[in-house]
Amino acid sequence: MPEFAFINLFQGLATLLAADTSVTVARLALIVLGIALVYLGARNILDPLLMIPMGFGMLSVNAAVLFLAGGQMGTIFIDPLASDPAQLMEVLQIDFLQPLYTFTFSNGLIACFIFLGIGVMTEIGYVLASPFSSMFIAICAELGTVATFPIAVAMGLNYSEAASIAMVGGADGPMVLYTSLMLAKDLFVPITIVAYLYLSLTYGGYPYLIKLLIPKRLRGIPMDLSKIPTVTPAEKIAFSVITCTVLSFLFPVAAPLFMSFFLGVTIREANLKHYIAFIEGPLLYGSTLFLGILLGVLCEANTIMNPKILILLVLGILALLLSGVGGIIGGYVLYLINKGKFNPVIGIAGVSCIPTTSKVAQKAVSEANPQALVLPYAIGANISGVITSAIITGIYITLIPVLK
Amino acid sequence: MNEPVMIALIVFFAGALIAYATAALIKGIFWSLRFRGEMKIREREKWNDAAAATKS
């Protein structure tokens, strides 16, 4: 009878024993992290819509490593590094999540679907209330994207990698995805994972930052909503069409996102009920679910075992922290300019994690003063944040290749 | 000042400049829409007045 190892019947365990110690430890750590994400999502401490599928993807992909052809270790989930067309065709027929990754994630389509959904849910009239103050807050909230760049260079990254990880401070997943694809393709996967992982942390982490930096007395300042102009649906549609055209001319890098967002706004204002029901429901929730699963399965130990990953983790959280602080500083400046009639909490909404940071701002304000409503102003700052993130992305992508 | 810090400052100030230009653009678009709406109303009022005068 030929000799065979019993453990090889259970390849997930066999590969765990056969791999390098570092890979084994990383796999086990990621499985534990996956379980933690599911737990924190289910407890509503982190965003459950993203964290639960992400946690499941992460724990499952790291448990399910097996021996492939040629004795190589891998999974039948996804191969994010496959780029050769022949290899990609083969992978598309074997790895069950590869079609989703290739046709919706790596080209940013899934992000556009999410922006379409956000557009359908957004009241655009708010951005017209005070575009200059909204834009001021948004540019202050880019502190992380700017200040992280020299820190990243000092930590040993080159300019392209530094710019890509600095974009995490913009808190805009699709922008980070695009910047790393354009500037640092070799770090595309780890940077994208770090970005999305931290973006979900804004939901859990920013409320503490607000409480730390803004006293309760100031958090409860009510905003004057009578200043917000009444805008008719026809005006909003005209505004969306013109603004989308002009912004696409100015920032082609973010044109797919602008188109998706303003199309969503127009569908809402034109009251296309069937489209609204489809986009708000199946499309938005479906995209969020698949985005979560994809992010989870991208966290396979072999894929993200990059010596730079630790630096990226540190820089990612630093970028988001600095952006949050910058936004709150912007809020304080407007509080002083408006002689105490501006709620500085709105500053956090300048971080363009739309609509999470707006909701975080309103929640923090409601805790301090249940009567105060800042959401319209926060949404305005949020939309401006998307625009400034697109601007900074455009500048980095144009500037960095020239400096190489 | 070293080069990365200079680049960061350039990115920030260029970003701020373009962001404010965009804010002005948004305001301009909104004003234009409002102005066009007001002009339409005035024209309609004038037309109604003229029509009423002709009838009488």
The 10s digit of each residue's pLDDT in A71-93 is: 788 889 988 877 788 888 988 99
Tell if the CB–CB gap between B11 and A395 is shorter than 8 Å: yes
* Residues of chain A with C-beta less than 8 angstroms from the C-beta of B10: 399
Which tokens go with A149? 């760049």
pLDDT value at A270 more than 70: yes
Q: On the CB side of A376, how many CA atoms lie within 13 Å of its CA?
A: 17
* pLDDT value at residue A1: 59
CB A376 within 8 A of CB A237: no
Read off the amino acid at residue A213: L
Q: What is the pTM of this model?
A: 0.80
Sequence length of chain A is 404
Read off the amino acid at residue A113: F
CB A368 within 8 A of CB A334: no
What is the residue-averaged pLDDT of chain A?
A: 87
pLDDT value at A337 more than 90: yes
C-alpha A111 chain-centroid distance: 9
By percentage, how much of chain A surpasses pLDDT 90? 38
d(CA B30, CA B10): 30
Q: Is A393 on the interface with B (CB under 8 A)?
A: no
pLDDT value at A162 more than 90: yes
Distance, in angstroms, between B24 CA and closest chain A CA? 7
pLDDT value at B28 more than 90: no
Which tokens go with A307? 């010596």
Tell if the CB–CB gap between B29 and A239 is shorter than 8 Å: yes
CB A166 within 8 A of CB A148: yes
Which residue, among B10, B17, B22, B34, would best test binding to A if mutated, counting the most A CBs under 10 Å from its CB? B22
Environment class of B36 (CB within 10 Å of its CB; exposed 0-12, middle 13-18, buried 19+): exposed
Distance, in angstroms, between A311 CA and closest chain B CA? 17
Distances (CA, A) of A259 to A86, A115, A263, A348, A379: 33, 9, 6, 25, 18
How big is the A-B interface in CB pairs under 8 Å?
Answer: 85
Which tokens go with A308? 């730079």
CB A55 within 8 A of CB A36: yes
